């Protein structure tokens, strides 16, 4: 039972354009979400987070949107750069837990 | 700057061997986690620990055990390695409930 889903295994985008990575979840108790970026042979690095009391959070080129009614979040990268090419994971948790549930990841390729 | 280190980047072991993977964090974090990452399956939680000598099973604990004798160190033990345990193993730590998890570089384990 996959509670956090990233339905697109891969995505290719031209340099300078917008990258949109999507994540759906099924558990309405989730109230905190993270995005991680992972390069090959490295551990995931934290990118950006959002709490369920917000619907948007921005950090430089990265913006995360949360649609609670649709149980959907998305990560926007504008403008996309070749160095953004990596696997992106979304993760969700709920209050009172130490655990995050991770999605299966989306491989982003930014073409120069 | 949070630092999570793992004892080996690459490891090759034989079926039936006992395998120890070690993880050390230098940020005085309460929580530590062991995940495995497999293509198409994302990050799956094996075990986590919320205090010294305290541990809880994650989603896939079978075939694994853990040890946390000191706050900064969390070990994953494969009692009798099998080929289906060939994977990338990732250690993470976090300060507390719903805090961001910081990952080590990973250990790629090959069991022959």
pLDDT bin (cut points 50, 70, 90) of residue B99 is confident
Q: Tell me if chain A has a CB within 8 Å of the CB of B54.
A: no
CA-nearest residue of chain B to A100?
A: B98
pLDDT band at A104 (very low <50, low <70, confident <90, very high): very high
Residue carrying the six token digits 């099973």: B57
In tens, the pLDDT along A78-102 reads 999 999 999 999 999 988 888 899 9
Mean pLDDT value across chain A: 94
Residue of A nearest to B90 (CA): A43
CA distance A24 to B99: 21
For residues A85 and B68, give the distance between their C-alpha atoms in angstroms, rounded to a whole number.
36
| Rounded distance between C-alpha atoms, residue B4 and residue B93, angstroms | 7
A 51-70 near B (Cβ less than 8 A): none
Bridge partners, residue A12, by sequence: A109
| Cβ proximity of A92 and A44 under 8 Å | no
Distance CA A44, CA B43 (A): 10
- Which residues, 6+ apart, have CB-to-CB distance to B71 below 8 Å? B28, B29, B30, B51, B52
In chain A, which residue's Cα lies nearest the Cα of B43?
Answer: A102
Q: What is the mean predicted confidence (pLDDT) over B40-57?
A: 92
CB within 8 Å: B106 and A45: no
What's the whole-number mean pLDDT along residues B31-51? 93
Any A CB within 8 A of B43 CB: yes
CA atoms within 13 A of residue B42's CA, in its CB half-sphere = 26
Contact between A44 and B50 using a beta-carbon 8 Å cutoff:
no
- Give the alpha-carbon dihedral of B64, B20, B96, A99, to 10 degrees: -30
The shortest CB-CB distance from A98 to any of B50, B102, B108 is to B50
Gap from B45 CA to chain A (nearest CA, Å): 8
B50 touches chain A (CB under 8 A): yes
């Amino acid at each position: 039972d996959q509670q956090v889903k990233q339905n697109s295994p891969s995505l290719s985008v031209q340099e300078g354009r917008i990258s949109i990575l999507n994540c759906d979840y099924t558990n309405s108790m989730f109230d905190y979400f993270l995005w991680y970026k992972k390069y090959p042979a490295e551990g995931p690095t934290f990118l950006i987070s959002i709490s369920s009391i917000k619907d948007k959070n921005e950090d430089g080129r990265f913006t995360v949107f949360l649609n609670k009614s649709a149980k959907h979040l998305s990560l926007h990268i504008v403008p996309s750069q070749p160095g953004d090419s990596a696997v992106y994971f979304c993760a969700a948790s709920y209050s009172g837990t130490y655990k995050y549930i991770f999605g299966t990841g989306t491989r982003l390729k930014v073409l120069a | 700057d949070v630092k999570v280190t793992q004892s080996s980047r690459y490891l090759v072991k034989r079926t039936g061997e006992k395998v120890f993977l070690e993880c050390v964090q230098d940020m005085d974090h309460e929580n530590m986690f062991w995940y495995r990452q497999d293509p198409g399956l994302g990050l799956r939680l094996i075990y986590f620990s919320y205090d010294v000598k305290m541990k809880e099973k994650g989603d896939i604990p079978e075939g694994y055990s853990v040890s946390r004798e000191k706050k900064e160190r969390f070990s994953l033990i494969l009692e009798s390695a099998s080929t289906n345990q060939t994977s990338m193993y990732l250690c993470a730590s976090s300060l507390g409930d719903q805090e961001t998890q910081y990952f080590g570089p990973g250990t790629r384990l090959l069991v022959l």
